[in-house]
Structure 1
């Protein structure tokens, strides 16, 4: 099969590219490299340095090949930044995705996989674990932008027949177990790599945002899914959207607190993580844990790297071996 992956130079996108290549498919990457890295794209993969905000350029790439599916990972993704500049986040994520979806419709693409988010469920009125039927109540413009795109895909199916999978990720983490890819955001805002940098003396003490949440130890609880497990779920899901569109929550179903993540980094590294408490961040929810029952039942997918220490270990090894992150 031939697949176009937008944001394929980013953290999740690059791991999905590897999974597709490992499965024997042909892959091309579309990325504007605003946050992605050239070195994250495997050698030999065709790269289109295009910004999705440019519809004509986007449509030209979509029209170049007969793509069996388009997988869309390109987006602004920081909750805190979206609270500081909401209109930019809403506009950018919505318009770039609109351009891509329209180009797919205009040029005969039949299947579309969308990187959505658990931030759709950020509000307080929900139970845990969170099922796909839970109340959509984004607590940030970032989450709101993803829901807007899900609705566009709904109508693209209803009117034009574009079948889609909206995959509501919980916390992607870890690194390729073969060392081919890892997590490298600049600046880095995710807890596991920040804790690893702190323990390796590559940055300041870790700031832990909020210790007064209604959780077992006062820190936020999150469902961490290994990025390789997440990538493998995409391979299975591609076979399930030939006749219908689907919406799946994608997580392990286990919640770990921020303090438990710190303890895991300490076990893996054998060192103490220097950290200090800080005020809560706007837009952060106390607990986000997935109910992925539907995904598992319908596709047979099961996470292979579900234990927190395994997730942290792969992240630690990659970050230890790539002190400066990607070169480009």
Structure 2
């Protein structure tokens, strides 16, 4: 595969890049500026040299198309987005990046239909509202009731993707991650569990600001789902929930303490439930693309803590997000 990726310098994008490089694929990242600090946490210098950087703004359709043509992209992976806090602060800018940017990617796929086989893009669990009172898992195809601008933009993208399939036959797969955790997750509403692990690795305490149930998904598993979506047999336009370990924040803390005894008493949490359904049904995703990997919560926490500890020992643990 020759994958042109937007948002490739983010957390999920960095892990996807690592997995694609390890799989022998070619990767180009389209972004406003070259920022490899997350990639450097995962790739060695030789691997990093294999990642091509193409400067450009995802909201400019002509630049996205030019990048795809020059690179000879066979698949487009669209991960670029402004997160919940930034969309709340500036809804117009949020729509420009999150909606217009997505349209630019699909316009590129339409213009280069003979070259590009598929668009894969990041939606979000934020397309769902707070869920049902009994906490039953929500299916992919329930009525979507987002409670943030960010979630509303993701719904818009899913609907536009369907229109591109109906009007132009552009195949696309959207994945809806929830709380992704792991090295490189340093920003966004649900980055706090990762920051708690990092803080303890640095010998600090951390207070998670919310509580309640949350779906914790190890970043390596989420990246693997995106990689699978790029070349698995598929036609159409569909969006799929992604599921990890649905547990309370209290359980996350107690699991962390059992895996890392040094975490005992260092992590506290609030009580407010985030306004997104805590439990999503991913049975359609597993049927379409599965079986997909599932890292257990204790294993994911252990691997994340070990990676952060190794970075600390190397003097490379960035604490600017804490």
Interval of TM-score (by shorter of Structure 1 and Structure 2) = 0.7 to 0.9
Give TM-score scaled by structure 1 length. 0.83
Compared with structure 1, are the counterparts of its residues 131 and 189 closer, same or farther at alpha carbon in structure 2 (3 Å cutoff)? closer
Match of 2:54 among 41, 48, 53: 48
Compared with structure 1, are the counterparts of its residues 226 and 189 closer, same or farther at alpha carbon in structure 2 (3 Å cutoff)? closer
Structure 2 residue runs of 5 or longer lacking an equivalent are none
d(CA) in 1 for partners of 2:311, 2:174: 32
CA RMSD, Structure 1 to Structure 2 (Å): 2.8
Of stretches 44-53 and 150-159 in structure 1, the one that deviates more from structure 2 is 44-53
Deviation of the 1:90 alpha carbon? 2.6
The match for 2:171 is: 163
Deviation of the 1:186 alpha carbon? 5.4
Q: How does 1:207-246 map to 2 (within 5 A)?
A: 207-210=207-210, 219-240=211-232, 242-246=234-238
2:127, 2:151 within 8 Å by CA — same for their partners in 1? Answer: yes
1:76, 1:89 within 8 Å by CA — same for their partners in 2? Answer: yes
Aligned residue pairs, count:
306
Give TM-score scaled by structure 2 length. 0.84
Q: State yes or no: 1:76 paired with 2:82.
A: yes
Moved over 4 A (4+): 33-36, 124-127, 186-189, 275-281, 324-327
Match of 1:265 among 218, 242, 256: 256
Q: Going by fraction, where is helix more abundant, 1 or 2?
A: 2
Q: State yes or no: 1:319 paired with 2:308.
A: yes
2:34, 2:53 within 8 Å by CA — same for their partners in 1? Answer: no
1:10, 1:35 within 8 Å by CA — same for their partners in 2? Answer: no
Q: State yes or no: 1:13 paired with 2:13.
A: yes
Deviation of the 1:3 alpha carbon? 1.3
Deviation of the 1:142 alpha carbon? 0.9
d(CA) in 1 for partners of 2:173, 2:188: 30
The match for 2:279 is: 289
1:12, 1:227 within 8 Å by CA — same for their partners in 2? Answer: yes
Give secondary structure in 1 for the equivalent of 2:164.
helix
Deviations 1:186-233 (A, max 9, x none): 589612222123324565x423334xxxxxxxx221112222222222
Deviations 1:46-65 (A, max 9, x none): 11132212333222102213
Match of 1:90 among 95, 120, 131: 95
Compared with structure 1, are the counterparts of its residues 187 and 221 closer, same or farther at alpha carbon in structure 2 (3 Å cutoff)? closer
Structure 1 residue runs of 5 or longer lacking an equivalent are 175-181, 211-218
